[in-house]
Amino acid sequence: MRKREMVKPRVAYLGPEGTFCEQAARKQFSRAALIPYPNIAGVFMAVEKREVDYGAVPVENSTEGSVYATLDRLLESNLMICGEVELKVAHNLIVKPNTSLNQIKVILSHPQALAQCRRFIENTFPDAELREVSSTAKAVELLGSVDNAAAIGTEIAAERSKMVVLKKGIEDESNNLTRFFVLGEVDARPTGRDKTSLIFSAKHIPGALYRVLEIFAVRNINLTKIESRPEKGKPWSYVFFLDFEGHRTEEKSNEALNAMKERCTYIKLLGSYPRAQ
Rg (Cα) of the chain, in Å, rounded?
21
Name the stretches of the chain with pLDDT < 50. Answer: 1-4
Q: Identify which of 22, 10, 82, 85 has the alpha carbon closest to the alpha carbon of residue 53.
A: 10
pLDDT at 5: 54
- Tell me the CB-side half-sphere exposure of residue 132, using CA atoms within 13 A: 5
For the annotated catalytic residues, the residue numbers are: 178, 180
In terms of domains, do 51 and 123 share one? no
113 touches 21 (CB < 8 A): no
In degrees rounded to 5, what are phi and psi of residue 235?
A: -55, 135
pLDDT in tens, 42-75: 999 999 999 999 999 999 999 889 999 999 999 9
CATH assignment of the domain containing 100: 3.40.190.10
In terms of domains, do 78 and 128 share one? no
In terms of domains, do 157 and 118 share one? yes
In terms of domains, do 84 and 101 share one? no
Domain assignment present for 189:
no
Q: Which of 130, 151, 184 is the last residue of a domain?
A: 184
Domain assignment present for 252:
yes
Is the four-CA dihedral 11, 13, 15, 21 of positive or negative sign?
negative
pLDDT at 2: 46
Domain extent, residue 262, equals: 194-274
Q: Given its phi and psi angles, is residue 220 left (phi above 0), alpha (psi -120 to 50 degrees) or beta?
A: left
Cα separation of the two ends of the chain: 36
pLDDT at 56: 97
DSSP-derived letter for residue 77 is: -
Structural domain total, the chain: 3
**pTM, two decimal places:** 0.86
Calpha distance 230→232 (Å, rounded): 6
70 touches 58 (CB < 8 A): yes
